[in-house]
């Protein structure tokens, strides 16, 4: 159930996920937490025990995509695509994700339509079209491309700095842009008050991203220990999107990719576990992101938590990356990602302790409701 912009809501004697042993009385007014106070001892216990957590923030989705291979989307009618995009919004919200950063493909005007017309109150920060190999044509071309992206109203610029699953593992970290082009994109974007997220599997583009001071790098499975130190120092966030590679590596999984791609994904997944370890010990800011892009994946975003835990994060670290940590990466640490007075009431109500959930499936099934603080008009 989605509880959009509650005018007035009182939660008595609930637990806050991750805060052990204490109960809280929480009041929401006009879509914000107005009071969050520890319950008075001796107060009557509720009939059903409930937990509240901040709404999940997914820093890497592709809500506009309907198929793994983009060519397949082109075979669909525009009405069918729109219905599928609307369902992606709905499924994302139902699983407790209240804020997303779209990592490419979703124009801001589509967000406005899906939020206001379809009434799906999902907060989406967009990056519009991605800059990739076809744009490595010099800085004049890039300036024109960037002007178009800024014009669309997108807050972010997405740079494909290396290959991905489509590239052979031996070449996947080769830079797509020259160092000059890359630095131009970052400086020009920042000069226009926008932010940069960089798709990179590893190699020299991670160093370029650290020295240019981008907001975040994505995937980064071939990150080295030294590079982790540089990212931490430059305060560049790392959004590893770990689970998608495990899913892609499984030939019988929901993506059912061909054996060559499965093998590349398996090698990526193997490297990821190590990259997460380097990032964790260096103190890199880790952000939760799924890279989910198809109907079989939207709505299963919480699976990312399972993989982050498998790769060595504690529950507290994994949840931080999906709530307060992610909000800070968006520059929204002051009003998103916490159950605290004055914060937007984006939250998930659970009927079991989310920090004890054995896996994402159990976690998803324990969702009672999803609260979104802002009005649709504010989100659109």
Residue closer to Zn ion by CB (options 14, 322) is 322
In angstroms and rounded to an integer, the radius of gyration of the C-alpha atoms of the chain is 20
Binding Zn ion (rule: CB under 5 A), the pick from 52, 86, 103, 206 is: 103
Residue closer to Zn ion by CB (options 291, 346) is 291
Residue closer to Zn ion by CB (options 23, 298) is 298
Residue closer to Zn ion by CB (options 154, 367) is 154
Residue closer to Zn ion by CB (options 110, 366) is 110
125 near Zn ion, rule: CB under 5 A: no
Q: By CB under 5 A, what part of segment 179-208 binds Zn ion?
A: none
Segment contacting Zn ion by CB under 5 A, of 33-41, 87-95, 286-294, 368-376: 286-294
Tell me the closest approach of the beta carbon of residue 7 to Zn ion, in angstroms: 37
Residue closer to Zn ion by CB (options 23, 60) is 60
Tell me the closest approach of the beta carbon of residue 209 to Zn ion, in angstroms: 16
Q: Which residues pair with 156 in a beta bridge?
A: 195
> What is the per-residue binding string for Zn ion in 56-95, x denoting contact by CB under 5 A?
----------------------------------------
304 near Zn ion, rule: CB under 5 A: no
Tell me the closest approach of the beta carbon of residue 103 to Zn ion, in angstroms: 4
Tell me the closest approach of the beta carbon of residue 11 to Zn ion, in angstroms: 36
Here the tokens at position 323 are 């709530």
Residue closer to Zn ion by CB (options 68, 177) is 68
| Residues contacting Zn ion: total by CB under 5 A | 2
Tell me the closest approach of the beta carbon of residue 369 to Zn ion, in angstroms: 29
26 near Zn ion, rule: CB under 5 A: no
Residue closer to Zn ion by CB (options 298, 338) is 298
262 near Zn ion, rule: CB under 5 A: no
Question: How many CB atoms lie under 10 A from the CB of residue 168?
Answer: 10
Segment contacting Zn ion by CB under 5 A, of 97-105, 172-180, 190-198, 346-354: 97-105
Binding Zn ion (rule: CB under 5 A), the pick from 82, 135, 215, 291 is: 291
Positions touching Zn ion (CB under 5 A) are 103, 291
């Amino acid at each position: 159930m989605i509880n959009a912009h509650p005018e007035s809501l009182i939660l008595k004697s609930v637990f806050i996920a991750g805060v052990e042993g204490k109960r809280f009385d929480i009041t929401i007014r006009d879509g914000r937490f107005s009071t969050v106070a520890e319950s008075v001892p001796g107060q009557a216990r509720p009939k059903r025990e409930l937990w509240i957590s901040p709404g999940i923030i997914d820093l890497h989705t592709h809500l506009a995509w309907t198929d793994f291979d983009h060519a397949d989307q082109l075979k669909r009618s525009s009405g069918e695509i729109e219905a599928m995009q609307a369902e992606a919004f709905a499924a994302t919200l139902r699983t407790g994700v209240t804020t997303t950063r779209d990592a490419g493909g979703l124009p801001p005007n589509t967000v406005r339509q899906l939020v206001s017309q379809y009434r799906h109150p999902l907060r989406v920060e967009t990056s519009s079209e991605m800059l990739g190999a076809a744009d490595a044509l010099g800085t004049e071309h890039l300036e024109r491309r960037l002007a178009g992206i800024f014009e669309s109203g997108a807050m972010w610029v997405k740079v494909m700095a290396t290959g991905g699953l489509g590239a052979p593992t031996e070449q996947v970290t080769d830079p797509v842009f020259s160092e000059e082009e890359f630095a131009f994109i970052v400086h020009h974007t920042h000069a226009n008050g926008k932010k940069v997220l960089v798709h990179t599997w590893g190699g020299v583009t991670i160093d370029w991203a650290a020295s240019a001071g981008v907001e975040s790098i994505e995937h980064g499975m071939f990150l080295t220990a030294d590079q982790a130190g540089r990212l931490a120092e430059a305060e560049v966030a790392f959004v590893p999107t770990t689970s998608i590679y495990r899913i892609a590596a499984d030939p019988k999984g929901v993506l059912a990719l061909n054996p060559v791609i499965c093998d590349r994904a398996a090698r990526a997944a193997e490297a990821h576990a190590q990259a997460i370890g380097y990032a964790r010990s260096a103190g890199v800011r880790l952000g939760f992101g799924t890279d989910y892009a198809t109907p079989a994946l939207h709505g299963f975003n919480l699976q990312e938590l399972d993989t982050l835990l498998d790769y060595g994060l504690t529950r507290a670290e994994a949840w931080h990356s999906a709530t307060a940590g992610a909000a800070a990466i968006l520059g929204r640490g002051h009003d998103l990602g916490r159950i605290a007075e004055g914060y937007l009431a984006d939250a998930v109500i659970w009927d079991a302790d989310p920090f004890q959930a054995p896996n994402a499936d159990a976690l998803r099934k324990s969702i009672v409701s999803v609260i979104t603080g802002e009005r649709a008009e504010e989100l659109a």
